[in-house]
Amino acid sequence: MPDYSKEINRRRTFAIISHPDAGKTTLTEKFLLYGGAINLAGSVKGKATARHAVSDWMEIEKERGISVTSSVLQFEYDGFCINILDTPGHQDFSEDTYRTLMAADSAVMVIDGSKGVEAQTRKLFKVCVMRKIPIFTFINKMDRDAMDTFDLLDDIEKELGIATCPINWPIGSGKGFKGVYDRESASIICYSDTEKGTKEGKSVTVPVSDEALLRETIGDEAADKLLEEIELLDGAGADFDLETVRAGELTPVCFGSALTNFGVEIFLQHFLNMATTPLPRKSDAGVIDPVKEGFSAFVFKIQANMNKAHRDRVAFMRICSGRYDANDEVRHVQGGRVMRLSQPQQIMADERKILEEAYAGDIIGVFDPGIFSIGDTVCAPSLNFRYEGIPTFAPEHFARVRQMDTMKRKQFVKGIEQIAQEGAIQIFQELHSGMEEIIVGVVGVLQFDVLKYRLENEYNVEIRLENLPYEHIRWVEHPETVDMEKLSGTSDMKKVVDMKGNPLLLFINPWSVGMTLERNPGLELSEFGRG
């Protein structure tokens, strides 16, 4: 087999997670800027120009009636080929957001320095922990008044339960932001916002050992505070250890301001040095090595069209091993056939280009005539194995679905099952009730509207949704050993089954989960369903 190690080993594939408004888009744009994927003319309009480039592409997407998100971006930087996976925030937050994390080898967590850890970050972080992937933290908006640095790190450690290791340390914040102290070189890198929007400003580097120069550069007050903080930090902080970082137990932290272009390139360089090459993945034939094995990939996301006129779907695949060649046939393992992928494309910052080849670590989108499901494996025809399934993530909002016209039962069942298969919603039935009583669960409430809209437009079925108060869902582990009838829970508990027949419990109150576990010795409950 040809050796593709050079191409594969220069790839880094990561997802960006953050709470809306922390600066994920701005940071992504700056990454693209350094990689030359976006060219900026002039300096002041930097951000607007960059955003324009991305949104233009989104307009094209809309016209073509495909999705509305820039899901994957690829760019080159310093010999690396970098794939960024976007995890949509705001109201389009859905199970897809979680699934995207299954396709990444590491995560970049963006935190607003004035806010600390926020809700959305907490949710996405759980998935990173489950996957044990490395997490790199960028504390943004240091040009605005930020929380105390020690408090910020404490917040991450307490809220997320991960140790932190500052790579650099901010000198002041807001109007008093002077730059960062780089721990490795024991020098400060000064901030100037005069070069907003262009490449990272020319930085002045001063070693802290030259105390006179340090005081002259940042002033006595900032110098005193910094020297004191360095002493505290060196005495108290966790030691840096690459293995612990790669195991997802320690997060390196950098500070900066994406908007004014400070600290972004420093962060990117540290990140690239520490992040892993495409990781091996588990399959039913053992662990698959990205370099030694032929082509293989798995489907992590299917984007169906919201537009009635074009019912096409795009399946997004993460290549896990080898090289993909658009001329070659592939085996769709779950579909049991060998075929050629239709219109394979790579999604770039501002264009979609038909792709000829791609390597382990890359993401490709292919036209899906309705044959792929989330979690499916595609590989070279000479191979035949299945990657571990993608877990089902816990929905947080539930509603009972009522059909308005009972004569259209068949379309209704077909439609709702199809939409559930695409992974936009999850459907449950009460124990023994069959399809008479359908409960739908979603990760983000927008999915309720999507369901209603699609059933009406694509299946001509009108429904009414009646919200249910459940917020906590648990899959019953080892269901073959549990008698669901006899299981005694709390008064707010509901027993249901998912589409695959797995039993689950729904609760209104979080403490009911613990109570139910107490009342049923040996019972094990999980927040993730088996894929």
The least distance separating ligand G4P from the CB of residue 24, rounded to whole angstroms, comes to 3
Residue 118 found at the interface with ligand G4P (CB under 6 A): no
Q: How far apart are CA 346 and CA 363, in angstroms?
A: 7
- Compute the CA torsion angle 115, 117, 119, 122 (nearest 10 deg): 170
Rounded to an integer, what is the distance from CA 151 to the centroid of its chain?
Answer: 26
Instruction: Determine, following the binding rule CB under 6 A, whether residue 143 of this chain makes contact with ligand G4P.
Output: yes
How far apart, in Å, are the Cα atoms of 196 and each of 112, 139, 170, 175? 19, 18, 19, 15
Q: String of b and e for 488-497 (b: at least 16 CB within 10 Å)?
A: ebbeebbbbb
If phi > 0 it is left, if psi is from -120 to 50 it is alpha, else beta; for residue 503 that is beta
Q: Does 70 bind ligand G4P (CB under 6 A)?
A: no
- Quick one: which segment of 23-31, 61-69, 320-328, 455-463 binds ligand G4P (CB under 6 A)? 23-31
Choice from 5, 7, 10, 20 touching ligand G4P (CB under 6 A)? 20
Site for ligand G4P in 467-486 (CB under 6 A): none
| Residue 257 binds ligand G4P, judged by CB under 6 A | yes
If the CB atoms of residues 70 and 140 are measured against ligand G4P, the closer one turns out to be 140
The size of the chain, in residues, is 531
Closest CA to 160 of 114, 123, 112, 106: 123
* Contact set for ligand G4P, span 81-100 (CB under 6 A): 89
- Only one residue has tokens 């970098």, namely 82
Q: How far apart are CA 35 and CA 216, in angstroms?
A: 35
Q: Which of 18, 106, 137, 377 binds ligand G4P (CB under 6 A)?
A: 18
Which span sits near ligand G4P by CB under 6 A: 137-145, 184-192, 196-204, 213-221? 137-145
Under the binding rule (CB under 6 A), the answer on residue 259 touching ligand G4P is: yes
Task: Look up residue 319 and give its two tokens.
Answer: 């290549």
137 binds ligand G4P (CB under 6 A): no
Stretch that binds ligand G4P, among 18-26, 244-252, 411-419, 515-523 (CB under 6 A): 18-26
* DSSP one-letter string for 207-220: ETT-HHHHHHHH-H
What separation in angstroms does the CA of 310 have from each of 70, 96, 305, 461, 479? 19, 21, 7, 19, 41
Q: Among residues 121, 140, 392, 512, which is the contact residue for ligand G4P, using CB under 6 A? A: 140
Nearer Cβ to ligand G4P (144/215): 144
Of the pair 30, 313, the CB lying nearest ligand G4P is at 30
- Which C-beta is closer to ligand G4P: that of 88 or that of 423? 88
Q: Closest approach of Cβ 373 to ligand G4P, in Å?
A: 30
Q: DSSP for 33-66?
A: HHHTSS---SSTTHHHHHHHHHHHHHHHHHHHT-
Q: Give the nearer residue to ligand G4P in terms of CB position, either 18 or 277.
A: 18
DSSP letters spanning 310-353:
---EEEEEEEEESEEETTS-EEETTTTEEE--EEEEEE-SS-EE
Q: Which is nearer to ligand G4P, 141 or 301 (CB)?
A: 141
Helices (H) and strands (E) in the chain, counts: 13, 33
Size, binding site for ligand G4P by CB under 6 A: 16
Query: Is there binding between residue 25 and ligand G4P (CB under 6 A)?
Result: yes
| N-to-C CA span, the chain | 32
* Contact yes or no for 489/470 (Cβ under 8 A): no
Which residues ranging from 342 to 371 are in contact with ligand G4P (CB under 6 A)? Answer: none
Q: Which of 81, 82, 60, 78 is nearest to 70 (CA)?
A: 60
22: contact with ligand G4P by CB under 6 A: yes
Stretch that binds ligand G4P, among 21-29, 244-252, 344-352, 435-443 (CB under 6 A): 21-29
Considering only residues 165 through 224, tell me which ones interact with ligand G4P, judged by CB under 6 A. Answer: none
**Closest separation in Å from C-beta 169 to ligand G4P:** 17
442 binds ligand G4P (CB under 6 A): no
330: its two tokens: 């592939």
Examine residue 30 and tell whether it contacts ligand G4P (CB under 6 A). no
Provide, rounded to whole angstroms, the least separation between the CB of residue 83 and ligand G4P.
18
Single out the residue of 11, 12, 24, 246 in contact with ligand G4P (rule: CB under 6 A). 24
Strand partners, 15: 85, 107
Element of type H or E holding 503 = strand 503-507
Nearer to ligand G4P, 30 or 331 (CB): 30
Looking at 13-21, 214-222, 369-377, 515-523, which segment touches ligand G4P (CB under 6 A)? 13-21
Between 263 and 441, name the residue whose CB sits nearer to ligand G4P. 263
Question: Which stretches of the chain bind ligand G4P, using CB under 6 A?
Answer: 18, 20-26, 89, 140-141, 143-144, 257-259
